[in-house]
Amino acid sequence: MSIYYKKITNPDAWVDEENTSTYLRKFNMLGVTQAFSILIASYNKYSLDDFNKITEHLTKFTFRYSTIAGANPNKPEALYGELSYSIYKEQLNAAGVIDKINDLWIDDNEFKSKFLKKDFKSTKIPRYILWEFEATLSTEEKDIVFEAVHLEHVKPKNIAKWSSDNSLYTKEFHSKNINKIGNMILLSQKINTSIKNSIFSEKKEAYDTSQINMVSLVKNMEVWDQGSIDSNAARYAQAALTTWSK
């Protein structure tokens, strides 16, 4: 089984199977290893098409259950063991595996609530979320490359300039919103580096040069206050309900 494990943990190995590579890259991005047993068993026993379906569904489930909701990890871990054994013994088909995973599915109301409240301390997951969101807006044939974009905090981590520019930007406002998804967009490295801790009016001028669609939703706002952040987050949450659905 080590051969299967090596392929599952190396999406770039699937040069002739673009869909499989994409599904595995997204799954591995979440950093959850407990489900590898299911993927190994599925790759061993099922067709590549069924393996892809299970990988895609596991990614959606993991994102909702673990990444966003932070629910009890013991339940899926136990389920993964049972399902891996059933797959290996050929007691379940791919559809049956997906049905069993759905028994622990986080419902839309809880998912949306946790999504909006989530503090993202690292950059990888919000970059992944916004990369998926950008795909829903893109009308171009070529999507943006995940590795080529940076995560921009519209209200920056250092708000010294913002605080002196507007009394709204207090420490309380900063701590509440700095790591919320509504305060984030994607930008090219060049633009992101050039604006750093600039105030919103100055950032908007730089945003005008960006080709990323989500940026236009932000640059058209007059101010970057609680209402703007909440409105932006609501757009992301609605897209998330569709992107990470059953």
pLDDT in tens, 158-194: 888 888 777 777 888 889 999 999 999 999 999 999 9
| Cα separation, 114 vs 105, whole angstroms | 14
* Three-class secondary structure of residue 216 per DSSP: helix
DSSP conformation class of 145:
P
pLDDT at site 18: 86
**Residues 66-100: pLDDT tens digits?**
999 999 999 999 999 999 999 999 999 999 999 99
| Cα separation, 149 vs 62, whole angstroms | 24
pLDDT at site 140: 65
Decide: pTM greater than 0.85. Answer: yes
Query: Which distant-in-sequence residues (6+ apart) come within 8 Å of 86 by Cβ?
Result: 92, 96, 97
Query: Which distant-in-sequence residues (6+ apart) come within 8 Å of 38 by Cβ?
Result: 54, 58, 80, 83, 84, 87, 97
Give the residue extent of every domain in the chain.
Answer: 2-106, 124-243
The per-residue pLDDT of the chain, averaged, comes to 93
